[in-house]
Structure 1
Amino acid sequence: MGKRRDYYRDPNAPKPNSLVPGGSALVVDARGAILMQRRSDSGNWSLPGGVMEIGETLEQCVIRETKEETGLDIEITGLLGIYTDPEHVIEYADGEVRQEFNTTFHGRVCGGRVAVSGESTEVRFIQPDELAELPVHATVRLRLQHHSERRARPYLG
């Protein structure tokens, strides 16, 4: 196993032992391409984001994590949804087994330059039709689907 393994609707998933609030950013450029990073821990393409630290808001967390992981400064422009499905479990090599807790915000680039971090092997804006051919976890695909539906209200689930 790598550093991380995702389970989704898998009856053989290990039992969670932690719940950690985290967030991610769905950032779109002028051409409609979505900012994605290829995770070094799983090899999957994902939205930039991470977990909250004491002393920050979730919005500050997402802005900080996006900067750390992609080199880009963003501002939060809205809420795509809150994703807390207990059937999404993430197992880490250190024994932590986390139930998903992710709030995904819409964001807009306001500075910086695309750069790869230690958490990613590649960072780029990807057209939605390209994503069908790339390794993307089912839970991230759900967020991308909600984005493509241009929902009037945030997803709660």
Structure 2
Amino acid sequence: MLLYMSNSACETQSTPLHSVSVAGAVVREDGRLLAIRRADNGRWELPGGVLELTEAPEEGVAREVWEETGIRVEVDELTGVYKNTTRGIVALVFRCKPAGGSERTSTESTAVDWLTPAEVSERMAEVYAIRLLDALDGGGPHVRSHDGKHLIQAR
């Protein structure tokens, strides 16, 4: 709750709380996309996580991809903004190029793989697959909302 003073009295206003996450749509020269199988739920997703208060979004993307996959990246451009309306998470997705390192798992990932766009659609839930596919189309940045499972069509 946020309290503020008006000219007439003290009023109460509810302020929504959101978390900001960042993710890397890492695209290899052959068009394959970097993905992880998450350790906590076994689902395939693109590497990413919570943006720390002291870091720029591009720094957060590079850190998260490195921590989860062992791949160093060059961050290119923002390709999409995705809001989970159920959990209040806003995810910023950046297209990246691999710039070194080698694939390895971490405490957050049980597998790391380079997937074709067709494999992305097969293995990932639509709310994560669309983030990688949007990064390929060059038409971004895209702005989408979802409920954690399904995309919500824009009005």
Q: Structure 2: which 5+ runs fail to align?
A: 1-15, 145-155
Aligned to 2:47: 48
Relative to the length of structure 2, the TM-score reads 0.76
Shift of 1:35: 0.3
Aligned to 2:62: 63
Aligned to 1:80: 79
Aligned to 2:117: 128
Relative to the length of structure 1, the TM-score reads 0.75
Cα distance per residue 1:56-87 (max 9 Å; x no partner): 1111111101000000111111111111242x
Question: Is 1:103 equivalent to 2:92 in the alignment?
Answer: yes
2:92 is paired with a residue whose SS is strand
Q: Structure 1: which 5+ runs fail to align?
A: 1-16, 90-97
Identical counterparts, % of pairs: 33
Does the 8 A contact of 2:117 with 2:133 survive in 1? no
Question: Over aligned residue pairs, what C-alpha RMSD do you find?
Answer: 1.7
Aligned to 1:36: 35
Structure 1 distance, partners of 2:115, 2:121, is: 11
Shift of 1:133: 2.9
Residue type matched to 2:94 in 1?
F
Ranked by relative contact order (alpha carbons within 8 Å, sequence separation 6 or more), the top structure is 1
Structure label with greater radius of gyration: 2
1:101 is paired with a residue whose SS is strand
2:28 is paired with a residue whose SS is coil
Aligned to 1:93: none
